[in-house]
Structure 1
Amino acid sequence: MEGMVRAVCLSKARGTEKVNVGRGELQADWGLAGDAHAGHWHRQVSLLSADKIAAFNAKGANVQPGAFGENLVVEGLDFRALPVGTRLRCGKALLEITQIGKECHSHCAIYHRVGDCIMPREGVFAKVLESGPVAVGDVMTVEARPEPLPFQAAVITLSDRCAAGQREDKSGPAIVERLKQNGYEVIETLLLPDGRPALEKELRRLCDQRRPDLILTTGGTGFSPRDVTPEATLAVAERQAPGIAEAIRAASLRITPRAMLGRGVSVIRGKTLIINLPGSPKACHESMDVFLDQMPHALTLLRGAVTDCAASAPAQTV
């Protein structure tokens, strides 16, 4: 799969339309030199397919490359159809897709001008792995990864006191460390107050845009009026995976009878598995002991890979 670069666009300020400058320098772990969106984060470079702009202009919009805030306009590649983790080679430069689409918090200049913007629907974002120049006319190709994309995970802590700075979050970091020991790439960690709206919003964003294989939440699974993590998780679910939560409770009951009060759920949204864990670091570790060795098989299935379901998955617990 390959395409051709049709525009290289920069802007000096976020939220403004970019200008096609024809060429630029992609800098590793930074982005397009001189662009306002470059930085040490996962959305270093934005890409948009040329045919998406053409289809938008066919409705009478008459916008130019860069109007949607995209850095690179490429003809011949449907970026929206490529999964997170896809690598793109453009000369010496190497990019890796990190996000599909985006949430529009405050409408950009093009939206205010024409009443619509395709970047949230059709744009993708990437980080720069290897530096190199980029110019109009360059060929961009999809490059095979030298190894499979590591399982990616996000961790969300739910706690009013921790979010207010009144108590240190120990559970979230404990989960992160355990995941890293087992070979996961932790792409985001969040600390939120208890409650449904913020958690539902972040779960949807992560699953639909960043698309990690696994999201683990900690906290908010008990009987307290503010413990609504299971309700928020069920609200974003497309499918349920109840066996994981059931297994956690069954194993925990052998440790303490209070495990019967745990209300955590396990669900699937898109290709992401979401599992609610209890609030204490000890209970988080005990819960992860139950399911972690089954995750490679489960997450491989979610990725769509064909596996032998009768075979035992290799253990990865630490």
Structure 2
Amino acid sequence: MGIVRAVCISDRRGMQKVNVETAQFEEGFGICGDAHGGNWHRQVSLLSAEKIDEFNQRGADVESGAFGENLVVEGFDFRELPVGTTFQCNDVILEMTQIGKECHTHCQIYQKMGECIMPTQGVFAQVICGGTISVGDEMKIIERADTRYTVAVVTLSDKGAQGEREDTSGPLICEMVEDAGYRVVERLLLPDEQKQIEQELIRLADRRQVNLILTTGGTGFSERDRTPEATMAVATRNAPGIADAIRMYSLSITGRAMLGRGASVIRNKTVIVNLPGSKKAVRESLEYILPHLKHGIQILLGDTSDCGGK
């Protein structure tokens, strides 16, 4: 059980927030009057009161809202909770969607202390049900409303990222995985830049903790096709059987093996699979591997509910 110690908002991004004591939370948006509200996964930010107290004991002397956090809560170490944890406070239900964030510009706190705890200790959430939260209210962890495995879909295309070509494979992947019982939580369209691909794969696996990342494109023989290299660079374990199975299936139905260089790996608790760029190849690949991927994810997460306890 946690206790809300501050409810903070600001009318502009990049500003310290002010403790307004009470606020209205809107489903699918965030906090009314707060600049970070919107149709995205970082609608509400949360920070443990104990982490702020520890930081102040080192001489920071900051007040609630100084890190840009919306809710300061005593009793939870948010950093130790997994993405997907669901909180209830009065009628408000929040689902944790991301741990920490990248700090692109050093704030005044960082300049004074040489560090800022929000990028490492703060978490983000979406508003699942709206209502009012005030200082002193109790917050508790409840059972997750949506237990489907989560998926991020990443399309790699220079022309697509520049708006010169329509992405048709990404939407197809989203449709097929949703129909197969997964939940798509993020979709990206990126240029074939290896460093950027690596950064996004790491963010999706480590901060968003998605169960499955499916990429499409960037697996050919062109020098600009760097998706397999980026995928292998972020791996903690290799899982070549998935990519090999896709190639063998292509051989069985087309009479030739695909020449794509797609890779398949594991990063911590996330499976990453490179798919080809064409709609036809994407459809064929997913029709074959989707029925089998869930079992692999279950084993990876230690979920034996559908595995006969083994």
* TM-score of Structure 1 vs Structure 2, range by shorter chain: over 0.9
Q: 2:147 aligns with which of 146, 149, 156?
A: 149
Which residue of structure 2 lines up, in the alignment, with residue 216 of structure 1? 214
Deviations 1:41-76 (A, max 9, x none): 111110001111111112111111111111111111
Which residue of structure 1 lines up, in the alignment, with residue 235 of structure 2? 237
In 2, Cα distance between equivalents of 1:28 and 1:296:
30
Q: Which moved more, 1:263-272 or 1:99-108?
A: 99-108
Query: TM-score under structure 2 normalisation?
Result: 0.94
Letter in 2 for 1:297: H
In 1, Cα distance between equivalents of 2:95 and 2:237:
29
Which residue of structure 1 lines up, in the alignment, with residue 187 of structure 2? 189
Seen in structure 2, the aligned counterparts of structure 1 residues 25 and 113 have a Cα distance that, compared at 3 Å, is: farther
Query: TM-score under structure 1 normalisation?
Result: 0.92
Query: Identity over the aligned pairs, expressed in percent?
Result: 58
Which residue of structure 1 lines up, in the alignment, with residue 101 of structure 2? 102
**How far is 1:176 from its partner?**
1.2
In 1, Cα distance between equivalents of 2:211 and 2:135:
35
Letter in 2 for 1:73: V
Q: Which moved more, 1:270-279 or 1:100-109?
A: 100-109
In 2, Cα distance between equivalents of 1:109 and 1:135:
28
Any residues of structure 2 matched to 1:146-185 within 5 Å, and which?
146=145, 149-185=147-183
Which residue of structure 2 lines up, in the alignment, with residue 301 of structure 1? 299
Which residue of structure 2 lines up, in the alignment, with residue 316 of structure 1? none
**How far is 1:307 from its partner?**
5.0
In 1, Cα distance between equivalents of 2:19 and 2:46:
13
**How far is 1:309 from its partner?**
5.2
**How far is 1:261 from its partner?**
2.1
Q: Which moved more, 1:80-89 or 1:300-309?
A: 300-309
Which residue of structure 1 lines up, in the alignment, with residue 18 of structure 2? 19
In 1, Cα distance between equivalents of 2:129 and 2:237:
38
Deviations 1:73-118 (A, max 9, x none): 1111111111111110111111111111111222334324433211
**How far is 1:189 from its partner?**
1.2
Letter in 1 for 2:214: L
**How far is 1:152 from its partner?**
1.0
Letter in 2 for 1:265: A
Q: Which moved more, 1:161-170 or 1:230-239?
A: 161-170
Any residues of structure 2 matched to 1:58-207 within 5 Å, and which?
58-146=57-145, 149-207=147-205
Q: How many residues align?
A: 310
Letter in 2 for 1:176: C
**How far is 1:277 from its partner?**
0.6
Q: Partner of 1:261: helix, strand, or coil?
A: coil
In 1, Cα distance between equivalents of 2:309 and 2:278:
34
| 8 A Cα contact 1:17 1:109, kept in partner | no
Any residues of structure 2 matched to 1:259-274 within 5 Å, and which?
259-274=257-272
**How far is 1:162 from its partner?**
2.1
Seen in structure 2, the aligned counterparts of structure 1 residues 50 and 311 have a Cα distance that, compared at 3 Å, is: closer
Q: Partner of 2:253: helix, strand, or coil?
A: coil
In 2, Cα distance between equivalents of 1:25 and 1:206:
29
Q: Which moved more, 1:161-170 or 1:282-291?
A: 161-170
| 8 A Cα contact 2:90 2:133, kept in partner | yes
In 2, Cα distance between equivalents of 1:308 and 1:92:
33
Unaligned runs of 5+ in 2: none
In 2, Cα distance between equivalents of 1:29 and 1:165:
27
Seen in structure 2, the aligned counterparts of structure 1 residues 35 and 260 have a Cα distance that, compared at 3 Å, is: closer
In 1, Cα distance between equivalents of 2:155 and 2:91:
40
Which residue of structure 2 lines up, in the alignment, with residue 10 of structure 1? 9
Task: List structure 1 runs of 4+ shifted beyond 4 angstroms.
Answer: 307-312
Q: Partner of 2:204: helix, strand, or coil?
A: helix
In 1, Cα distance between equivalents of 2:34 and 2:199:
28
